[in-house]
Amino acid sequence: MSTPNPAPEPPVLAADPEPAPAAVEPSLPSIADGVERHLDPRAVTLDRIVSGIVTAAISLSQLVALVVIYFVADDLPGRSMALLVLFWVAFTLTLAWSSYRWPEVEHRHKSYKVDERGIEIRKGVYWRKVINVPRSRVQHTDVSQGPIERSFGLGTLVIYTAGTSHARVDLSGLEHATALRIRDHLLPEEASDAA
């Protein structure tokens, strides 16, 4: 004899589930912590690319000048032309080497520090320069990106100040988000804007 199947239980409707807590975005630490920072390391590669483009343009223009000299100067001795070509090769190789090496050297000597008073920028390999821009002197700020900078995620912070000395201060080689955070920190406060 078979046992009858018990009657199915009615489905239990669950109450609406608790909504998931909203994802709390961790707040970034203040950019104005007074810590000296170097620029983004990607700035070295960016500067090498830009320097390489400049080197290629200069070298190509000199090569064109050599070709023009070769065809225009009929009475130029072969030795003189060979010396000009040798000079062009040496100059191009030297320029190419320095355009590869210099950005790394310059990067080691360039830094910035942001605190509540403003921003301090240090740069220079042979002639060192320290630029202090107090927040009270900042007129406005911009963050710009060229096409190559954008592909690397970098930007240039441009600070316009009151006064004639260092009326425009540029700091290139910053991560774009960092440049925006510094810009927001340096903007004049609304209370002082209304005064």
pLDDT of residue 190: 54
pLDDT digits (tens, 9 = 90+) for 31-47: 888 899 999 999 999 99
pLDDT of residue 62: 93
* Extended strands (E) in 16-85: 36-38
Instruction: Judge whether residue 78 has pLDDT over 80.
Output: no
pTM > 0.75: yes or no: no
The better pLDDT of the pair 57, 162 is held by: 57
**Spans of all domains in the chain:** 43-107, 111-194
pLDDT of residue 98: 95
The CATH code for residues 111-194 is 2.30.29.30
Rounded average pLDDT over 170-179: 94
Confidence of residue 19 (pLDDT cuts 50, 70, 90): low
